[in-house]
Structure 1
Amino acid sequence: MPYNNQPKPDDRSDNVEKLQEMVHNTIENMEAAEETMEFANEKDRADIAAKNERRRDAIEGMRAEIKDEYRAQQEE
C-alpha cells in the first residue's frame, strides 16, 4: 500500500509574531527568576544568573531572526 505523505507547505507568515511572543515570554521568565533570587541560596542564585545569561543570548538570537523574517516577508 503506497503512502502519499506530503510535508505541509512552509507557512512562515506568522513567524515574526511567534518570535516576538517568545521574546516577551523569555523576558517575563527572566524577571520572575530575578525576583526568586532574593529568596535563593548562593548556589541557586548562581544557577539563576547563569540561566538568565543564556536567556539574554537566546533573546539576541531571536531578535536577529525576527529581523531576518521581517525582511523575508517584505521581499514576498
Structure 2
Amino acid sequence: MANNQPKPDDRSDNVEKLQEMVHNTIENMEEAEATAEFSNEKDRADIEAKNERRRESIAGMREEIKDEYSAQHDE
C-alpha cells in the first residue's frame, strides 16, 4: 500500500540552493555576454533581453534568500 502522507517541509537548505541558483545564473549571463561579442545585432539584442530577465530573477532570488534566512533565524 502506498504511503500517501506528504513529505515534511524541509526548508533547511533553501538558502544554499538559492545561492547556487544565483551563482549559476550569473555564470550564464557572463557566458551569454561573451557570446554576444561575436553575434549579429539581432542576437545581441536577444541576449541582452534575456540577461535583463536574468537580472530580475536574481533580484527576486536574493529577496527570497533574505526571507528564508530571516525565517530560519527567527525560529
Q: TM-score, normalised by structure 1?
A: 0.94
Query: Deviations for 1:6-59, whole angstroms, at most 9, x for unmatched residues?
Result: 111100000000000000000000000000001111111010000000000000
Mapped partners of 1:4, 1:45: distance in 2: 51
- Residues 11-26 of structure 1 mapped to structure 2, 5 A cutoff: 11-26=10-25
* Cα offset, 1:4, TM superposition: 4.2
Mapped partners of 1:51, 1:18: distance in 2: 22
Aligned residues: 75
Q: Give the secondary-structure state (helix, strand or coil) at the position aligned to 1:44.
A: helix
Task: Report sequence identity in percent.
Answer: 81
Is 2:60 the partner of 1:61? yes
Gaps in structure 1 of 5+ consecutive residues:
none
Q: Give the secondary-structure state (helix, strand or coil) at the position aligned to 1:45.
A: helix
The equivalent residue for 1:39 is: 38
* Alignment-mate amino acid for residue 47 of structure 1: D
The equivalent residue for 2:47 is: 48
Q: Give the secondary-structure state (helix, strand or coil) at the position aligned to 2:70.
A: helix
Q: TM-score, normalised by structure 2?
A: 0.95
Which runs of at least 4 in structure 1 moved beyond 6 Å after TM superposition? none
Mapped partners of 2:3, 2:14: distance in 1: 28
Gaps in structure 2 of 5+ consecutive residues:
none
